[in-house]
Structure 1
Amino acid sequence: QKSAHWISEVNVKIESEVTEELINIQSVEIKLKEENEISDLMRHKRIHTGNNLYKCRQCSNAFSKKRCLIFHQRIHSGEKPYQCIQCDKVFSQNSVLTRHMRTHTG
């Protein structure tokens, strides 16, 4: 009977530790979600305040995301790194190539 009581205490301790660990994981997940939301909010605020971090050196355009600046700079450079394998047309953005590929499949 003493060993049964000891096993019960161990089970309670393990359950308590597992519960505590789950709570810690959930609080970290919540914190990460909040940080992402804050980051998104800050980026969105820059749209309205004009404090965009990524400015084009060739014109007056500015962007809140680096990838948007990179896409924009391809307008100035004429760079079109995405090529259709069926008709050899080239595009500055992969998403435009993807949309174009649908013209070949009907």
Structure 2
Amino acid sequence: MCEQEIAKFSVGQRVLSAKKTYECCFCDRKLSSKRNLRQHEYIHTGLKPFPCQKCGLAFAQRGTLARHAMKHLDKQFECRFCGKKLSTNSSLKVHEAIHSGIKPHVCGVCGKAYVQKVNLLYHVRKTLHGSENHERKMNTTL
């Protein structure tokens, strides 16, 4: 790296570290904007200001509503193993991985294995595996 690139990198680092964050009063999570903080806090308060226009089911976060809305679309992607129909190609790929029997995401603490990384992370959160004592060991298998 030349000296000019190093100087730009250093300036960029200072700007990033000085960026303001907003802390959740319920769980101490830090978010990058007031809007993100407000939407995050809906999880704790139970407010669900984002209703589905098709069925009326309401959600705390806009992204969750968007995922839900996909269920109302025509299901045009069919699983070649079981015939289940899904509304997106990406959800089909995730679903078909279940049939492979391959579970590449393994908990480094108890050895439980999962098809999807999100399921391993949920397992770690709901058990005591997420504690500092186990975190380092678990991260080696992700």
Structure whose alpha-carbon radius of gyration is higher: 1
Which structure: greater helix fraction? Answer: 1
TM-score normalised by the chain length of structure 2? 0.36
